[in-house]
Amino acid sequence: MKTASAGTVESMDCLVTVSEGAPGSGLSIQLSGAATARFAPTMRKAVQEVATAMGASDLSISIQDNGALDLILKARTEAALARYRGGDTA
Amino acid sequence: MRLRRTMLYLPGNNPNMLLRGHLFNPDGLVLDLEDAVAMREKDAARILVRDVLRQGNFGTCEVTVRINGMDTSYWKEDLEAVVPAGIHGIRVPKVEDPKDMVLLDETLSEIETRAGIPLGKTLVFCLLETAKGIWRAYEIATASKRVTAIIPGGEDLTADLRTNRSAEGTELEGVRKMLVLAARAAGVDALDTVFPRITDDEGLRKEVGFIKQLGFDGKSVIHPNQIPIIHDVFTPTEKEIEKAKRIVAAAKEAAERGLGAVSVDGRMVDRPVVKRAEFTLIRAGLSEEVLS
């Protein structure tokens, strides 16, 4: 299965991993990390915004968060999606 | 005139440092896309640095980005990402040809025009990391009006000189003197290379005293703990401040009375001394007392 990721699990960062979803499945977002229970809605919104702006769908996006601000989450999501699209599976 | 006593490098792929670097109160920041970022992370770091810049919370720091060298395939993409995001300047590694400064100037102008940024706003800080770069320092510093500072390399330069870095810094002495001379002739700042031994506070203090005496305006910094030591060395003493205040006050009075000559403590003082006194007050954080 094609996957791509970006980021780290270091403090104030997050690791975003993108993998192929079923056709027509839209976006499936999984969150893990200490703060995700509290911030899940805003984190999902941030990821969705980036995916929509990049025209990405039918993907599974998994976030391992270690206290990343929204702007970091967005930057890591963009990098992971760009890598997924570019075939870079780093 | 902007103080550049300390310019702190922040690894471009590290959110923690990128977001918190300014809290250590350096005069400037260098968000690093070059050596601090692994090859396979160049893409992610570029996006991260761009977004951290857009957020724009850096206190009073002068914000610069070290792009990848102009001999790589990354530098234009780096510029496209970070210049529109809002920066004061670009730090360019391994500059050794004045023609590169002309090309960089043109590329920056194109990006500024497209982004609606005033033409010429983005300054350039040149890292001279080879013997050829040091040799051509004056030509490089005058190749574009954007060039605002030149900085000698450390490790790369000593390797190019076929020597290595010593605690005394003997191998860089001639280079540093040449660099200050070129900077002053070109009217740009001379900023020193990093001090690599991050736990050697005494060694750092000694080196900063030395480079200050040579005429450097500041130093690149790789660890926040180095900042207060460097600021301390560059901050004038009470005695120096008092003398500078008297000189500047006398110059003001002479100007108001239409007199050309300035007398302080019974001695005539010429214009370069007044300029130096003004600079002392700027370094002391008293720029409001400066004449011009």
Residue B18 DSSP label: H
Percent of chain B with pLDDT over 90: 82
Q: B136-178: per-residue pLDDT in tens?
A: 999 999 999 999 999 999 889 999 999 998 888 899 999 999 9
**C-alpha distances in Å from residue B30, one per residue of B49, B92, B135, B247:** 11, 11, 25, 35
Find the closest chain B residue to A80 by CA distance.
B44
Q: Is B1 domain-assigned?
A: no
Same domain, B32 and B134: yes
Contact B126, B112 (CB under 8 A): no
For an interface test with B, the pick among A14, A63, A76 (most B C-beta atoms closer than 10 Å) comes out as: A76
Residue A89 DSSP label: -
Q: What pLDDT does A87 receive?
A: 65
ipTM of the assembly?
Answer: 0.94
Same domain, B136 and B208: yes
Q: What pLDDT does B9 receive?
A: 98
Q: Do B15 and A79 touch (CB under 8 A)?
A: no
Same domain, B213 and B179: yes
Domain containing residue B79: 6-234
Q: Do B47 and A68 touch (CB under 8 A)?
A: no
* Strand blocks (E) in B6-154: 6-11, 28-32, 62-66, 89-92, 123-128, 147-152
Compare B228 and B276 and report the one with higher pLDDT: B228
- Rounded Cα–Cα distance for residues B55 and B269 (Å): 48
Same domain, B228 and B244: no
Q: How many domains does chain B have?
A: 2
Same domain, B139 and B257: no
Q: Is B243 domain-assigned?
A: yes
Same domain, B211 and B259: no
CB contacts, 8 Å: A78 with chain B = 47
Asked whether residue B194 carries a pLDDT value surpassing 60, the answer given is yes
* Domains and their CATH numbers in chain A: 3-85 (3.30.230.10)
Residue among B39, B40, B30 at smallest CA distance from B67? B30
* Chain A: residues touching B (Cβ < 8 Å): 6-8, 10-13, 68-69, 71-72, 74-76, 78-79, 82-83, 88, 90
The mean per-residue pLDDT over the stretch B22-33 comes to: 97
Region for B56 from its dihedrals, namely left if φ exceeds 0, alpha if ψ lies in -120 to 50, beta otherwise: left
Bridging pattern class, strands B28-32 and B62-66:
parallel
Where residue B284 falls among pLDDT bands split at 50, 70, 90?
Answer: confident
Burial (CB count within 10 angstroms: exposed 0-12, middle 13-18, buried 19+), residue B113: exposed
Q: What pLDDT does A89 receive?
A: 47
Contact B118, B112 (CB under 8 A): yes
Same domain, B77 and B92: yes
Q: What pLDDT does B292 receive?
A: 53
Residue A71 has its nearest CB partner, among B13, B43, B52, at B52
Compare A76 and B267 and report the one with higher pLDDT: A76
